[in-house]
Amino acid sequence: MPTFETVRHVNHSPERMFDLVADVEKYPEFVPLCERLTVRQRRVDEAGREVLIADLTAGYGPIRETFTSMVTLDRVGLVIKVEYIDGPFRFLDNRWGFTPRVERGADVHFWISYEFRSRMLGALMGSMFDRAFRKFSEAFEQRANALYGVGA
């Protein structure tokens, strides 16, 4: 089962980075492979966290796959949890964490583990997904720099 984890040091506050990652509707503008994202449902759970049900369409060349996930936005804990519901995966689990740095800025923690349902799809898209996931944190940092300024 492919797993990828990284910590990226950024010059933006944990709260700003949380807000950027939580703004899922904007993903098609800057996230690698993300062609479309639609939020089907928004609610607040018993712990006061916002919970989204969202469909994301990823594409590369002629291949398009849409999957549904539940996204839990824990603003107090500065954690975003993504749990797979339906689509081309057998399993997908994703976590984001945002911690303040002592000097300034934040550490953005990104972790993902997944497995395609079909071996053929895994063979076709697996290495491309691996490369895209490795660029995710960088894409969010570049987006933050564009929105908030490089040293904000």
Q: What is the pLDDT of residues 121-134, one digit of tens each?
A: 666 666 666 667 77
Answer for the pair 79, 97: CB distance below 8 angstroms, yes or no.
Answer: yes
Helix axes 14-22, 119-148, angle to 10 degrees: 130
State how far the Cα of 111 lies from the Cα of 148, in Å rounded to an integer.
24
State how far the Cα of 112 lies from the Cα of 95, in Å rounded to an integer.
6
Amino acid symbol at 52: L
| Domains along the sequence of the chain with CATH | 3-148 (3.30.530.20)
**Token code pair at residue 124:** 């076709």
pLDDT in tens, 103-120: 889 999 999 998 888 777
Name the more confident of 152 and 58. Answer: 58
